[in-house]
Amino acid sequence: MITIKQLSKVFQTNSTEIQAVNALDLSIDKGEIFGVIGYSGAGKSTFVRLINRLEEPTSGQVTIDNQEITSLSKKDLRLSRQEIGMIFQHFNLLWSRTVRENIMFPLEIAGLSKQERLKRADELIGLVGLAGREDAYPSQLSGGQKQRVGIARALANNPKVLLCDEATSALDPETTDSILSLLVDINEKLGLTIILITHEMHVIQKICHRVAVMEDGSVVEKGNVMDVFSHPQQPVTKKFVEQVMGKPDDELADESILNQIDQGKLLRLHFVGETASQTTISQVAKKFDVDLNILHGNVKQTQSGAYGTLFVQITGDDKEIGEAISFITSTSVQVEVK
């Protein structure tokens, strides 16, 4: 749905050239939540601004729904921007307008009648859960509520794409979660394509289907969130995965856990993807005459299922243990005997 070809942006300062985005290629499918992660200065904010040409690209192409954004005239660009919603880190609401009037602003730009504007604004206020606050001014709202107004405003003209520029970075963890679930909700209800820029891996983990990792203006790694989590290739990706999963378990756990084991066996269960479910443990306990003792673990939920590892001590008859292990092997959970 969105195709980005060889997109570049060079900032010219007095003495030097800064290559903010460097020959970037990307394709994003309809209806997916696509995450772009990188440290500050990686060029991700510039990248998202190139998509709706808030920054003019130096070279390259952006195509949305077969419309080449990069070749549009100023006038046509304004029209197509109405179909690209955008939300910001600092919300960027008009403080002189109430919640309702803020949401009506893009509708005024699109030239809707007052009646239609009011009707649409009320729908959106319901959608983002701000009913009862429509006449409040932004200064009277919490951060999370402000971002809800931002989201409602971005959705006003029924956009095809929603660009999120660090939309949760100014919010506390709890509010971040509620905004993220609102985004997932919108994505599912409206089938809206979302491009999300962040420097927080747990945002990617929680809601994205696919992710691209940016460093120095280039995409260094991309793929399904699950694949990137389970097999990070680049050092920068590994660092981001550690943000969420902690240090790799092998180093941390093996030695110390092995020392605690005086009977039975130590199993390392690796959960990847949709079919991975923790009922595996209880199934083993029911089917075989063994005892299971969970020693250490770290399992995270992503958009495409659970991901993580569990260290389990299994005790009992050797034969039963052997059968239990082959049962686990037959499920999608990967097992390793230590």
Partner 1 sequence: MMSQLFPNVIWSDMVVAMIETFYMTLLALLGTFIFGIMLGLLLYLTSPGGVWQNKIINLIVATIVNVFRAIPFVILILLLFPFTDFLIGTLRGPNAALPALIIGSAPFYARLVEIGLREVDKGVIEAAKSMGAKTSTIIFKVLLKESTPALVSGLTVTAIALIGYTAVAGIIGAGGLGDYAYYYGFQRRSYDVVFMCTILIVIIVFIFQFIGDALTNKLDKR
- Identify which of residues 79 and 131 has a Cβ nearer to partner 1 in the complex: 79
* Residues facing residue 272 across a β-bridge: 307
Question: Do the bridges between strand 161-165 and strand 193-198 make them parallel or antiparallel, or are there none, so unpaired?
Answer: parallel
93 binds partner 1 (CB under 8 A): yes
Token match 């409206």: residue?
A: 190
Residue 133 lies near partner 1 (rule: CB under 8 A):
no
Is the Cβ of residue 137 or residue 327 nearer to partner 1 in the bound state?
137
From the CB of 88, what's the least distance to partner 1, in Å? 6
List the one residue from 34, 47, 88, 307 that touches partner 1 (CB under 8 A).
88
The identity of residue 204, as a single letter, is: I
Looking at the Cβ atoms of 163 and 180, the one nearer to partner 1 is 163
Pick the closer one to partner 1 by CB: 47 or 271.
Answer: 47
Give the number of other CB atoms < 10 A from CB of residue 100: 20
Which one of residues 6, 27, 54, 71 is an interface residue with partner 1 (CB under 8 A)?
A: 54
Which of 16, 95 has the CB closer to partner 1?
A: 95
Q: Is 313 exposed, middle or buried (0-12, 13-18, 19+ CB in 10 A)?
A: buried
Instruction: State the Cα–Cα distance between residues 151 and 154, nearest whole angstrom.
Output: 5
Give the count of residues interacting with partner 1 (CB under 8 A): 29
Q: Which of 7, 20, 37, 52 binds partner 1 (CB under 8 A)?
A: 52
Among 17, 29, 68, 108, binds partner 1 (CB under 8 A): 108
Q: Cα–chain-centroid distance for residue 203?
A: 5
Strands 265-273 and 334-337: antiparallel
User: In a 10 Å sphere around its CB, with 0-12 CB exposed, 13-18 middle and 19+ buried, how is residue 65 labelled?
Assistant: middle
Binding site for partner 1 (CB under 8 A): 52, 54, 77-82, 84, 86, 88, 90, 92-97, 105-106, 108-110, 137-139, 153, 157, 163
